[in-house]
Chain A
């Protein structure tokens, strides 16, 4: 079956530090890969996505590249801010042949990021 493994947290950084959150996956089909972010007291929001190998997703200074050869989708940001403090979830959506998705996301366990001034 499908699975997603994220680096264990929590991660604590100082403002302007470099961030990497590792994510690896196993999937049987042609997965799309996602990073979702959950700010305190809120639901999950899509941060970025990549739908095929070598695609790079980016948003709000965050980036992640779909690496099929290493089955990875690591999240990076060059300079974090206090406002980036949140829980980050890596997820995959397995598409059926033909490219349609039935919408089931398989999530990693989440990584808590805390950024101090």
Chain B
């Protein structure tokens, strides 16, 4: 089954404790991206990657890091989480040339205390 898988789905952590949200896709897509969803703000792009070893900032990259060492994986790293990073996070992917139709994971709800 074609899918984008995120882990963990739910996490409660404390300020400053490094965490990683993993994302994996099995569709051989070149493009992957992270979004955060906040009430009244829709989804905002954090980082994206157009292929292995190619990453770039989205609209709200502060406080986040990413890496793309393999085509299928695109982890989101919070080196020192803060309460303003409490949010619902989505990973998405799509193949080049698809005109923006993204395939989304089920989301990871993160709470930073």
Enumerate chain A interface residues (CB-CB to B < 8 A).
4, 32, 34, 41-46, 49, 51, 89, 91-93, 95, 99-105, 107-110
Contact = CB atoms under 8 A, between A and B. Distances in A.
Interface of B: 4, 31, 33, 35, 40-45, 48, 50, 58, 90, 92, 94, 96-102, 104-107
Given A44-B90, A109-B42, A104 B33 contact: yes
Contacts of A108: 42
A49 B101 contact: yes
27 contacts: A4-B42, A32-B99, A34-B100, A34-B101, A42-B106, A43-B104, A44-B90, A45-B104, A49-B100, A89-B42, A89-B43, A93-B100, A95-B100, A99-B99, A100-B96, A102-B48, A102-B50, A103-B31, A103-B94, A104-B100, A105-B45, A105-B102, A107-B35, A107-B43, A107-B44, A109-B40, A109-B42
Contact of B33 (A41, A95, A103): A103
Nearest to A99: B99
B40 A103 contact: no
Contacts of B99: 32, 49, 51, 93, 95, 99, 101
